[in-house]
Amino acid sequence: MKLVVFAAIFLLTEFGVVRAEGDASKGAEIFKKCAACHSVTEKTNKVGPYLVGIAGRKTAAAEGYNYSEALKTFAQANAVWDDASLDQYLTDPKAMIPGNKMPFAGLKDVQERADLITFLKTKM
């Protein structure tokens, strides 16, 4: 029985069902790592696409941004950026979508990702 409970907790945690609660103010600090390439204040693309409204937005849908073929292909099967997909992408963008253009290695800390996602959700 203990093995079953352990396995269930592992699977839920591993696949993003169990998540830490995020703090938007801490996420704003973490976003400073992203600000050189992304905007959250206006719908203006930089090196990367703007992130205004990213939470719940169609994947690869920032107007005027030239997405990689890898991300366009990914978008066909993954229509919307939700908490789980943002969390997975922010963990390791290249592992989730091989061939995408984002050079960022990812955020390995679960709490940092939760904080950043919470912050991004305030930027609608």
Convert the pLDDT of each residue in 44-53 to its tens digit.
Answer: 999 999 999 9
Q: Please give the angle made by the CA atoms of 45, 16 and 109, to the nearest 5 degrees.
A: 70
Q: How many CB atoms sit inside 10 A of residue 41's CB?
A: 10
HEC string for 45-73: CCCCCCCCCCCCCECCCCCCCCCCHHHHH
Alpha helices in 1-124 (DSSP H): 2-14, 24-31, 69-77, 83-91, 93-96, 110-121
The whole-number average pLDDT for the span 40-65 is: 97
- Please, are residues 81 and 51 in contact by the beta-carbon 8 Å criterion? no
Asked whether residue 75 carries a pLDDT value surpassing 80, the answer given is yes
Counts of helices then strands in the chain (DSSP H, E): 6, 0
Q: Helix axis angle, 110-121 relative to 83-91, nearest 10°?
A: 130
Average pLDDT, the chain: 88
Asked whether residue 59 carries a pLDDT value surpassing 70, the answer given is yes
**By mean pLDDT, which of 7-21, 44-58, 82-96 is the weakest?**
7-21
Whether this prediction's pTM lies above 0.95 is answered by no
Distance CA 68, CA 47 (A): 12
